[in-house]
Amino acid sequence: MPHPSGRLRTFALSVFATLSFGGMAQADGPPFDLPVDCLNGVCDIVHYVDHDAGPEIRDFACGTTTYDGHRGTDFSVPDEATMLEGISVRAIAGGTVAALREGVEDIDSGRLDKGNLEGIECGNGILIDHDDGWQSQYCHLRRGSIALKKGDRVSRGQLIAEIGMSGQATFPHLHFNLRKDDQLVDPFSGSAMGASNQGDCSVDNAVLWSSSARAQLTYNDITLYGHGFSMARPNASDLKRGYGKEPELPNTAPGLYFWAYLIGANDGDVIRMSLQTPTGKGGHRDFVIDLPNDQGPRAKWFFINMDRPGDVWPAGMYHGEVTFTRGGKAPRQIGKSDLTIR
Looking at the chain, which runs of residues are DSSP E strands? 44-47, 73-76, 88-90, 95-101, 124-129, 134-141, 153-154, 159-162, 173-180, 183-184, 223-230, 248-249, 255-263, 270-276, 282-288, 299-307, 316-325, 332-341
For the cut 50, the answer to whether the pLDDT of residue 10 exceeds it is no
Say yes or no: 100 and 248 in one domain.
no
Evaluate whether residue 112 is within a structural domain: yes
Q: Average pLDDT of 16-41?
A: 64
CATH number at residue 49: 2.70.70.10
Based on the fold, state whether residues 202 and 227 are members of the same structural domain: no
Distance, in Å, from the CA atom of 253 to the CA atom of 229, rounded to the nearest integer, reads 12
For residue range 57-86, what is the model confidence (pLDDT) as tens digits?
899 999 889 988 899 999 999 889 899 999
| 253-273: pLDDT as tens digits | 999 999 999 888 888 899 999
123 pLDDT higher than 90: yes
In a domain, 327, yes or no: yes
Q: Cα separation of 105 and 123, whole Å? A: 8
Quickly state the pLDDT bin for 200 (edges 50, 70, 90).
Answer: confident
Instruction: Please give the residue range of the domain that contains residue 233.
Output: 223-341
Establish if 94 belongs to a structural domain: yes
Q: Across the strands, what pairs with 301?
A: 261
Q: Check: CB of residue 26 under 8 Å from CB of residue 39.
A: no
- Mind listing the pLDDT tens digit for each residue in 219-244? 988 999 889 999 999 887 888 888 88
Domain end (from 152, 183, 214): 214
With 70 as the cut, is the pLDDT of residue 16 above it? no
- The structural domain count of the chain equals 2
Q: How far is CA 169 from CA 11, 13, 80, 175, 235, in A?
A: 8, 10, 12, 9, 18
Q: What is the CATH number of the domain that holds 273?
A: 2.60.40.10
pTM for this model (two decimals): 0.85
∠ Cα 143 147 148 (to 5°): 115
